[in-house]
Amino acid sequence: MRPHWSQITDSDDPVAAVLNNHRKYVVSTHSRRKRPPGPTLISDHMFERVAELTEMPGRELQVHGSLKLAKSLHEAGLVDLSDC
Protein backbone atom coordinates (compact mmCIF):
# COMPACT_ATOMS: atom_id res chain seq x y z
CA MET A 1 0.00 0.00 0.00
CA ARG A 2 2.75 2.43 0.89
CA PRO A 3 4.28 2.65 -2.62
CA HIS A 4 0.90 3.51 -4.11
CA TRP A 5 -0.51 5.92 -1.53
CA SER A 6 2.72 7.82 -0.98
CA GLN A 7 2.44 8.94 -4.62
CA ILE A 8 -1.05 10.39 -4.08
CA THR A 9 -0.30 13.88 -2.83
CA ASP A 10 -3.62 15.61 -3.51
CA SER A 11 -4.47 17.30 -0.22
CA ASP A 12 -8.18 17.04 -1.09
CA ASP A 13 -8.02 13.24 -1.25
CA PRO A 14 -9.33 12.16 2.19
CA VAL A 15 -8.06 8.58 1.89
CA ALA A 16 -4.55 9.63 0.90
CA ALA A 17 -4.50 12.28 3.63
CA VAL A 18 -5.23 9.70 6.33
CA LEU A 19 -2.96 6.97 4.97
CA ASN A 20 -0.04 9.33 4.38
CA ASN A 21 -0.25 11.54 7.46
CA HIS A 22 -1.52 9.50 10.39
CA ARG A 23 0.34 7.19 12.73
CA LYS A 24 0.50 3.57 11.67
CA TYR A 25 0.82 0.36 13.67
CA VAL A 26 1.89 -3.04 12.41
CA VAL A 27 0.56 -6.03 14.35
CA SER A 28 2.81 -9.03 13.84
CA THR A 29 4.08 -12.06 15.67
CA HIS A 30 7.06 -12.01 13.31
CA SER A 31 8.86 -9.06 14.89
CA ARG A 32 12.18 -10.00 13.31
CA ARG A 33 10.97 -9.36 9.77
CA LYS A 34 12.25 -6.15 8.24
CA ARG A 35 9.68 -3.40 8.59
CA PRO A 36 9.52 -0.06 6.82
CA PRO A 37 10.52 2.92 8.95
CA GLY A 38 7.71 4.73 10.65
CA PRO A 39 5.04 2.26 11.76
CA THR A 40 5.00 1.20 15.40
CA LEU A 41 5.28 -2.56 15.83
CA ILE A 42 2.84 -4.34 18.13
CA SER A 43 4.07 -7.88 18.66
CA ASP A 44 3.26 -8.70 22.28
CA HIS A 45 0.06 -8.30 24.29
CA MET A 46 -1.83 -7.30 21.14
CA PHE A 47 -5.30 -7.08 22.69
CA GLU A 48 -4.12 -4.99 25.63
CA ARG A 49 -2.17 -2.63 23.36
CA VAL A 50 -5.07 -2.19 20.93
CA ALA A 51 -7.41 -1.56 23.87
CA GLU A 52 -5.03 1.18 25.05
CA LEU A 53 -5.02 2.72 21.57
CA THR A 54 -8.81 2.81 21.46
CA GLU A 55 -8.81 4.89 24.66
CA MET A 56 -6.54 7.56 23.17
CA PRO A 57 -8.14 10.72 21.79
CA GLY A 58 -8.46 10.99 18.04
CA ARG A 59 -10.06 9.21 15.18
CA GLU A 60 -10.88 5.57 14.74
CA LEU A 61 -8.36 2.79 14.26
CA GLN A 62 -8.52 1.02 10.90
CA VAL A 63 -7.43 -2.48 9.96
CA HIS A 64 -6.04 -2.91 6.45
CA GLY A 65 -5.11 -6.19 4.84
CA SER A 66 -5.75 -8.72 7.59
CA LEU A 67 -9.06 -10.52 7.94
CA LYS A 68 -7.49 -12.72 10.64
CA LEU A 69 -6.53 -9.65 12.70
CA ALA A 70 -9.94 -8.02 12.22
CA LYS A 71 -11.69 -11.24 13.28
CA SER A 72 -9.45 -11.62 16.34
CA LEU A 73 -10.08 -8.02 17.41
CA HIS A 74 -13.82 -8.48 16.91
CA GLU A 75 -13.86 -11.67 18.99
CA ALA A 76 -11.96 -9.83 21.74
CA GLY A 77 -14.66 -7.14 21.82
CA LEU A 78 -12.39 -4.45 20.41
CA VAL A 79 -14.40 -3.64 17.28
CA ASP A 80 -17.17 -1.08 17.52
CA LEU A 81 -19.77 -1.69 14.82
CA SER A 82 -22.15 1.07 15.99
CA ASP A 83 -21.33 3.33 13.01
CA CYS A 84 -21.71 0.57 10.41
Q: What is the pLDDT of residues 28-42, one digit of tens each?
A: 877 665 656 678 888
Average pLDDT in the chain: 83
Q: How far apart are the first and last CA of the chain?
A: 24
The domain containing residue 7 runs over which residues? 2-75
What amino acid occupies position 31?
S
Beta-ladder partners of 40 = 25
The Cα–Cα gap between 69 and 57 comes to: 22
pLDDT at 23 over 70: yes
CB 64 within 8 A of CB 5: no
Would you say residue 81 lies in a domain? no
Total tally of structural domains belonging to the chain:
1
Residue 83 lies in a domain: no
